[in-house]
Amino acid sequence: MDTIPQRIFITGGYGCIGSETSKWLIRNSTATVVVCSRKVSTVRTERVFHDVDRSRLCVVEVDVTDRNHLTQVLNDQAITRVVHLAALQTPDCNAHRDLGLQINLAGTQNMIEAMKASERPIERYIFASSIAVYGPRAAYPAGRVPMLVEPMPVNVYGAWKLAGEQISRYFWEDTQTSTLCLRPGVLFGPGRDAGLTASPTTAMKCVALGLPFEIPFGSRQDYLYAPDVGAAFGNAVVEPFDGYGVFTLPGQTLETLEIVRAMRQAATDLGMLEQFRITIGENEVPFICDLDDEPFQAAFSGVRRTPLDQAIRESLQVFADQVRRGWLTQQDVSG
């Protein structure tokens, strides 16, 4: 890990991956973390980062559609490394395609141009891609799916992520700044609140609230625990790496039923079984699973993979605590 203090800029820093990456960096490095969001509030900052030392956390309001402001912040904050996560999720991309294009793709190009214009050379750039760049599982042979198999995005979100990888590669070719594109699968746990596959996490929130909920799909997915993803991004931004790389992040291929069984057991262990009213629907989701994640583990060997039962139990504990604090209410899981 680096010994010289870094100043790391994280777009989308209030989001699930952004907040978990920021927390990991605060706990495991000497870096100052500069979190960027389109809208900043003291209340949200205190809630999202209530469990870490905020003396090395700076929160700034920046819209990635504003290239000049991005450049100004990189200079004013003396940024050394960048993690670019800001993006609309699949439902919003489908509903508002022009806005999705401006944020997900043009916003990535703005980030790249801002890094090129930075007065202090950027040492590392991490682009948050997605397994949405792949086609549906049926498009590939049985067994483990190679990480660099042909992409076939199933929606505009995946298409823009794939394009983001390509323009990130051009950034590396132009500047020789070490650049990584990371492809997470289906996140669950603390911080997950939006997207096509957020429903397993919504189900856990409903258990904590004592509400019924149906997860609409029962298909197999590559699941990743949010704090593990934060650790993966954190390792990728501070550990040694040269060149350009694309990596699928370590996950677990699971049926929805396995998630629900682990949820029920965790609810039992935590004395919340009477609040457990979770069912599974019959829909399918288009994303791939069975992806090979060994290349990332070989490049960043210290990244953990929390056992499913432990991850579910920790998530329920977090959500139960949020209910007690009044931070998680029925309104948060409706609509």
Q: Please, what is the angle between helix 67-76 and helix 107-117, to 10°? A: 40
Residue spans per domain, the chain: 7-185+225-250+286-306
Q: Measure the CA–CA gap between 156 and 94, rounded to whole angstroms.
A: 7
User: Which tens digits make up the pLDDT trace of 271-325?
Assistant: 999 999 999 998 887 679 999 999 999 999 888 899 999 999 999 999 999 999 9
Which position has the token pair 């934060």?
230
> Measured between alpha carbons, how far is 262 from 26 in angstroms, rounded to an integer?
30
Per-residue pLDDT for 130 more than 90?
Answer: yes
**pLDDT at 256 > cutoff 80:** yes
pLDDT tens digits for 23-39?
A: 999 999 999 999 999 99
Short-list 1, 242, 17, 22, CA closest to 123: 242
pTM: 0.95
In angstroms, the CA 71 to CA 113 distance is 8
For residues 142-156, average pLDDT: 92
Q: Is the pLDDT of residue 5 over 80?
A: no
The residues facing 125 across adjacent strands are 82, 179
Average per-residue pLDDT for the chain:
94
Supply the DSSP string of 181-230, one letter for each residue.
EEE--EEESTT---STT-HHHHHHHHHHHT--EEEEE---EEEEEHHHHH
pLDDT tens sequence across 40-89: 999 999 999 999 999 999 999 999 999 999 999 999 999 999 999 999 98
- As a whole number of angstroms, the distance between CA 176 and CA 148 comes to 22
Task: Return all residues near 240 (Cβ < 8 A) that are at least 6 apart.
Answer: none
Q: What are residue 34's DSSP bridge partners?
A: 9, 58
d(CA 48, CA 20): 9
The pLDDT of residue 115: 98
Per-residue model confidence (pLDDT) at position 110? 98
Query: Does residue 1 register a pLDDT over 80?
Result: no
Instruction: List the helix and strand counts (H, then E) for the chain.
Output: 12, 12
Query: Rounded to a whole number, what is the distance in angstroms from the first to the last CA of the chain?
Result: 43
For the cut 90, the answer to whether the pLDDT of residue 193 exceeds it is: no
Homologous superfamily of domain range 7-185+225-250+286-306? NAD(P)-binding Rossmann-like Domain (3.40.50.720)
pLDDT score of 210: 96
Burial 167-178 (b: 16+ CB within 10 A, else e): ebbebbeeeebb
Confidence band of 154 (pLDDT split at 50, 70, 90): confident
The answer on pLDDT for 2 being more than 50 is no
